[in-house]
Structure 1
Amino acid sequence: MLRIYKRIRQTLTHSLLAVAATSPMVLAQGLGNSPYSALGIGELYSQGNVTNMGMGDVGISNTSSFYLNLQNPALLARRTRFTVFEVGLVGQSKTISQNISNTLKSQSNFAGNLGYLALSFPANSRWNISLSLRPYTYVNYNIQKFQAVPGTPYTAQYNYTGRGGLNKVTFANGVRVTKNIYAGVEASFLFGNITNSSDARAIVSSTDILVTHLNRTNYSDVVWKLGAAWRPKLNDTWTLNFGATYDPKMHISATQTNIYQQTSLSGQAIAAPDTLQLNSNAQSTLPQQMHFGASIEKGNTLLVGIDVGFQKWSQYRTAENKPGGLADGMTVAGGVEYTPKPTSTRYRDLITFRAGFQYNKLPYMVSGAQLTDINGSLGMSLPLGAYFVNHVTLSLVGGQRGVLSGTQIKEQYVRIGLGFSLNDWWFRKQVVD
């Protein structure tokens, strides 16, 4: 047991140093500037790990003895007597483009974040438990708009900025009900805050007055997820996998602060702030979500799977209990995983390769059109350590969402994930000859 403690400490230390070196402001930036993160509770992170990321985020019906499944709690029960600790790091390079007054404007940025920390261990031969910490959403946008003031020769300038996001601490349980049927439940504590601010001025002179509105919402509450899986064997070689998860519609507690203030362009206060709300109790509504998966696998050599998800984002309500202007979303993903010879003693035969695709119907509406996100992914895992039960995983995703039509913003991105999976036995009785 002492050995895995040492490995956890070393891996965590090295991982956090890597994150800090690649992005000094990582926790504040999320995955870079995203204008659409101004909507709802922000941009959602993928709920899969780096392993799933390399195969289109497919993971509702499939899992492995060497990696954690963070998408379907029922599949925790498929794990062996090994305890596993995982760290995931995610970085993204993005180019944002939009046609403004028949002129193409573009902006590029890069940011990274700690994707997750997760630990899973067996409670008994049928029951596995996991604990994890991960970011759930992020908000990061900075939008500037100029508009003529009707009936005057002046132009008004509007600035909109947002920062923050929600984090997620999860306690999950997976139980093997019968030989091939699994059930699971996940309880997560969501916490974090989102700050949105806007200011306006009529551009007349350098002594103009800014009118600023600041809204800060703090969230903290428990949300649930249910999972189930069935693994009927076709023969001695092939196995079918079916899985499903359900996130019920949930009301989460929040507190709000709303402040208006007049300042000079240099930021000096002209009048005392007008506080409309100060830590007022509020409640937001998160939507119902359902995901289904099916896959077929040949031992530990080949796996092919497909996932479908539905998100009822039209049910979302802000902390003021107002509609968030979002539409229902949908996800379709497919992926493949291949290990040449998992029982071989040659290293190259033990390397696992992955590929996948994903089509997302996003909840964002622009000029009556719903945005889509299409991406493809590649990944590989390199075995390490004694008996090659530990792995370093690298995944790469490239995609685009939105198109250069009307006021839509086109985002082209490349996302990279680096994951570490450490396996060891806990509570193993030592034998002395």
Structure 2
Amino acid sequence: MSNNYKRVSRVAQISLLAMSLAAPAAMAQGFGNSPYSALGIGEPLGQANVTNLGMGGIGVSYASPFYLNSQNPALLARRSRFTVFEVGLLGQSKQLGQRVLDAQQSQRDFGANLSYLALAFPASSRWNMAISLRPYTYVDYQTRQYGRIPGTIYEAEYTYSGRGAINKASFSNGVRLWKNIYLGAEMSYLFGNLTNNSDSRVLINSATDVQVTRIDRINYSDIVWRLGAAWRPKLSENWTLNLGATVDPQTRVRARETDIYQQVLSGQSLSAPDTLRINQTGAATLPRNMQFGVSIERNNQFMVGVDVGLQPWSQFRTISDQPGNLRDALHVAAGVEFTPKSTSTRYWDLVSYRAGFQYNKTPYAVDGRQLNDINGSLGVSLPVGAYLVNHVNLAIVGGQRGALIGSQIRERYIRISLGFSLNDLWFRKPVID
């Protein structure tokens, strides 16, 4: 037993080191221009792995024993005795559109990044643990506007940009208490920084342009929690009902803010930078997030389910305890998964196919209208390697957020997620033949 735990400890240390080395890459890159990421603490990325994304992102009530589910920590205990290491990559192609003065303006954009790293392993027949690293939110935007300065003949250029990410390193535990009842908890450390810039430039001529620059940088670091539960009663010999729920309690995340203001003439400072705030401490309030799921499955072969999520982002408060002008969010998703014959040894019998649909009422509002995000998804898992226990996972999501109404920005996007699930049977007792 002591040797098993020494091995668990050694692997956990190596994995945490790898994740810490990967963290700067996750922080340095975004997923493409997203103007709405300027609001709140950036664009939330969710907990779904590639396999979940292919079926609408559902996973609160359902977890296959062959793949890692990161959405409900309780369902870690449903995993088999295999240890699994997963890597996910995400690329996004997006078309931005907006109606300005009865003319439609558009822009194409692309971004890609590491989506997650995760390792799950059994501690006993009833208890599984996992460690993971993933982006929690990201900020990546740049917009430019022009306008005449009132009372003058000069025009001004206004540039707004932002960059950064908050990352999430998690340690999760799932326990099977009785035959069909599961409980779990996830402790996560949020860390990272978000930088927002605003530049105002008076366009006189290239030699005498006057520019006012303001840089606001906030560093976040704190611990947050997620609790989960699941119940899997048998309906018959072949069919099982799955019920699941998770809650992220409302929490205050510690942060430090530095806000700098400076005037520049033709690239030369008119005065020393004026530091409005330097390392001013505070805490941002993140609202609770509740997720509920129900699904029905047949012997690891067929599953159909629905997830619903509620998060009152109107309760969000900035580090200076100001409202973030956000609305309460609603998330509804439906998905299906089919594997022809999970107990077969034939290759095509072990391929898993998925499809899903999402409707999201986002926390963003423009001109008094709350934005909707609607998308559909397809996914597949291909077995590879010895005994066909490893998988290459692929998910494609296509959808639209916002509409060409008023000053809304419409985003039409295609997201391609690629993941790898590597399974191995650890802690086997030696057998003398």
TM-score range relative to shorter protein: over 0.9
SS at match of 2:52: helix
Matches within 5 A, 1:212-227: 212-227=213-228
Give 1:202's aligned residue. Answer: 202
Partner of 1:404: 404
What are the residue-to-residue correspondences of 1:41-190 with 2, within 5 Å? 41-190=41-190
1-structure distance, mates of 2:291, 2:306: 11
Q: Which residue of 2 aligns with 1:237?
A: 238
Q: Is the Cα–Cα contact under 8 Å of residues 237 and 299 in structure 1 kept in the other structure?
A: yes
Kindly indicate whether the alpha-carbon contact (under 8 Å) linking 2:26 and 2:135 is maintained by their aligned counterparts in 1: no
- Helix, strand or coil at the partner of 2:109: strand
CA contact (8 A) 1:168 1:188 kept: yes
Cα RMSD over matched residues? 2.2
Contact 1:50–1:419 (CA under 8 A) maintained in structure 2: yes
Q: CA deviation at 1:383?
A: 0.8
The answer on whether the counterparts of 2:26 and 2:165 sit within 8 Å (CA) in structure 1 is no
CA distance in 2, matches of 1:311, 1:112: 27
Query: CA shift at 1:33, angstroms?
Result: 0.3
Q: 1:112 and 1:251, CA in 2 relative to 1: closer, same or farther beyond 3 A?
A: same
Deviations 1:179-234 (A, max 9, x none): 10000011000000000010112222321211111100000000001000000000
* CA 1:168–1:129: 2 relative to 1, 3 Å: same
User: Structure 1: 5+ residue runs without aligned partners?
Assistant: 14-18, 20-24
Q: Give the partner amino acid of 1:141.
A: Y
Deviation, structure 1 residue 380: 0.3
Show the 5 A alignment for 1:365-376: 365-376=365-376
Which residues in structure 2 correspond to 1:273-288 (within 5 Å)? 273-288=273-288
| 1:300 partnered with 2:300 | yes
In the alignment, residue 336 of structure 2 is paired with which amino acid? V
Partner SS for 2:137: strand
Counterpart contact for 1:27–1:113, Cα < 8 Å: no
* Matching residue's letter, 1:243: G
In structure 1, the partner of 2:333 is: 333
**Distance (Å, rounded) in 1 between the aligned partners of 2:266 and 2:428:** 66
Q: CA deviation at 1:27?
A: 4.9
Structure 1 residues 376-416: Cα deviation after superposition (integer angstroms, max 9, x where no partner): 00000001122211111111000001000100000000000
- Give the whole-Å Cα distance in 1 for the aligned partners of 2:86 and 2:193: 26
Q: Is the contact made by 2:27 and 2:167 (CA closer than 8 Å) also made in structure 1? A: no
**Deviation digits for residues 70-104 of structure 1, max 9, x if unmatched?**
00000001112111110001100000000112221
- TM normalised by structure 2 equals 0.93
Aligned to 1:35: 35
Matches within 5 A, 1:281-430: 281-430=281-430
Distance 1:172 1:147 in 2: 51
State the SS of the aligned residue for 2:193: strand
> Distance in 2 between the 1:99 and 1:27 partners?
32
- The answer to whether the Cα contact below 8 Å between 2:391 and 2:422 also exists between their aligned partners in 1 is yes
Q: Distance in 2 between matches of 1:54 and 1:340?
A: 17
Distance 1:253 1:194 in 2: 14
State whether residues 90 and 115 of structure 1, in contact with CA within 8 Å, keep that contact through their aligned partners in structure 2: yes
Q: Give the secondary structure class of the aligned counterpart of 2:269.
A: coil
Which 5+ residue runs of structure 2 have no aligned equivalent? Answer: none
CA distance in 1, matches of 2:186, 2:350: 32
Distance in 1, matches of 2:161 and 2:120, equals 39
How far off its partner does 1:26 sit? 7.3
Letter in 2 for 1:96: L
Question: Does the Cα contact within 8 Å between 2:26 and 2:167 map onto a contact in 1?
Answer: no
Q: In structure 2, how many angstroms separate the alpha carbons of the residues matched to 1:398 and 1:370?
A: 20
For residue 187 of structure 1, give the secondary structure of its aligned residue in structure 2. Answer: strand
Question: Contact 2:27–2:192 (CA<8 Å) still a contact in 1?
Answer: no
**Corresponding residue number in structure 2 for 1:228:** 229
Amino acid at match of 1:421: S
TM-score (normalised: structure 1): 0.93
Q: Is the 8 A contact 2:234 2:241 kept in 1?
A: yes
Q: Would the aligned equivalents of 1:182 and 1:230 in 2 still touch at CA under 8 Å? A: yes
Q: Could you tell me how far apart the structure 2 residues matched to 1:55 and 1:344 are?
A: 23
Aligned-partner Cα distance in 2 for 1:98–1:407? 7
8 Å contact kept, 1:240–1:297: yes
Report the CA distance shift for 1:85/1:401 in structure 2 as closer, same or farther (over 3 A): same
Q: Distance in 2 between matches of 1:119 and 1:260?
A: 44
